[in-house]
Chain A
Amino acid sequence: MKKLKILLNGLLKENPVLVLVLGTCPTLAMSVSVINAIAMGLAATAVLTCSNMVISLLRKVIPDTVRIPCYIVVIAGFVTLVQMLMEAYLPDLYEMLGVYLALIVVNCIILGRAEMFANKHNVGESALDGLGMGFGFTLALLAMAAVREVLGNATFAGMKIAFLEPYKISFLTAPPGGFLVFGCLIALVAHITRGKAPQRKSFDCEGCPSASFCRKDTASCAESTENGGTVNGNV
């Protein structure tokens, strides 16, 4: 039951994009089309799951002082691996994702989960967390892309939706439209979860990789979080 909870947490209650507000840069950039969103989501899920597992395996070996550089090396290794495989076997998708594929290295969801979850839990649980968070990221991207592509471009996954053609709102495919849809989805999730999700302890200041230099006073940070403030400003 606990394992199922870990897997499902990332989908809605602790959705990395719509609740934790992490990974917003690739979310906004890759949510113009459904195909791009799915490809980006799956690539990030693969990296997230593999890096979570490796970091969990090495959690007792990695000294605290070099944990962030070690995590970055592991994450960058997996991202490069995915890039090589994608360029070799899925070249069209590789070209579509472009520079955003390489930018998975600096995706805060991945480093965040390594720091908040993988270095405190066993391999199995870390893999489930990676999968759950990855699917949550994919789901958020997919939801945004579906709205933006269908209403903004009158297509779905590249297929024309003829009856929507005269009513399409091109603004939604532009960056401001992305922010608008993003805001609406965050509001929707906050409504569904009744705004309680961000107060969960698993992503408070204690688990934040930036806590040591971001806000020394973790007590006031926790207070701010409870009052509805954001945990950190990373994207």
Chain B
Amino acid sequence: MNDKIKSVIVLTVICLVVTALLAVTNSFTAPVIQDARDKKVKESLRAVLPDMYSIRDAELPEGAPSTVKAIYIIDDKDYAVVLSTNSAYSNGDMGITVGIGETGEILGVKLTSYFESKDFGRETYPAQFIGKNADSISGIDVFAGVTYSSKAFKSALSDAFKAVELIKGGEAE
């Protein structure tokens, strides 16, 4: 057989077998991973809005930024927005949950996942944003040496405000 054709066939078959193996593994690990993520999201809602009583899923409004993954209406007045963003620094997903009060200020914010959280100030950095609104978050300084991650974090919070505004606009109509 022509060597070139054999090379193509062998490489293709190996790719197909590996893909099939991964598909099978994914079929039983994906539900477990999803359950764990859902649990983590629920825990993060409790962390950003500890006094919450009721949670209601809100539909993502049309035109919501791509970083916004889910929005929950808490106690029929506040909002909790789940975000997932990419930081240009690491290319890894940064998971954030932010609670936004009915008057438009941040009630709580939690960094739920970030590969390089060790150097990011997982607790201290997000805490600086509590009490800020859509306009005042720009006044928060970025961390020296982790500029990209900090920028990604801030732009994700801006996206959360945009999404909440869109929902409020939809409800008003």
Chain A interface (Cβ < 8 Å from any Cβ of B): 58, 61-63, 65-66, 69-70, 73-74, 76-77, 80-81, 84-85, 87-89, 91, 95, 98-99
Contacts and interface: CB of A to CB of B under 8 A. Distances in A.
Contact of A77 (B3, B22, B113): B22
A84 B22 contact: yes
Contacts of A91: 36
Given A77-B18, A99-B116, 10 more contacts: A63-B3, A66-B7, A74-B14, A74-B18, A84-B29, A84-B33, A87-B33, A88-B29, A88-B32, A99-B115
A63 B113 contact: no
Interface in B91-136: 91-92, 113, 115-116
Return the 5 tightest CB-CB contacts between A and B, nearest first: A77-B18, A98-B115, A88-B29, A88-B32, A66-B7
A77 B26 CA distance: 12
Given A77-B22, A84-B22, A98-B92, A70 B14 contact: yes
Interface string B32-51: 11001000000000000000
A73 B33 contact: no
A99 B92 contact: yes
B172 interface: no
B15 interface: yes
Given A88-B32, A89-B32, A77 B11 contact: no
Interface of B: 3, 6-7, 10-11, 14-15, 18, 21-22, 25-26, 29, 32-33, 36, 90-92, 113, 115-116
A14 B113 CA distance: 38
B11 A73 contact: yes
A84 B15 CA distance: 18
**Chain A interface mostly helix, strand, loop or mixed?**
helix
Nearest to A84: B29
B33 A61 contact: no
Nearest to B116: A98
Contacts of A99: 90-92, 115-116
Nearest to A66: B7
B120 to A, nearest CB: 12
Contact of A88 (B10, B11, B33): B33
Contacts of A63: 3, 6-7, 10
Contacts of B25: 81, 84-85
Contacts of B115: 95, 98-99
Give the residue among A70, A74, A76 with the most B Cβ atoms within 10 A. A70
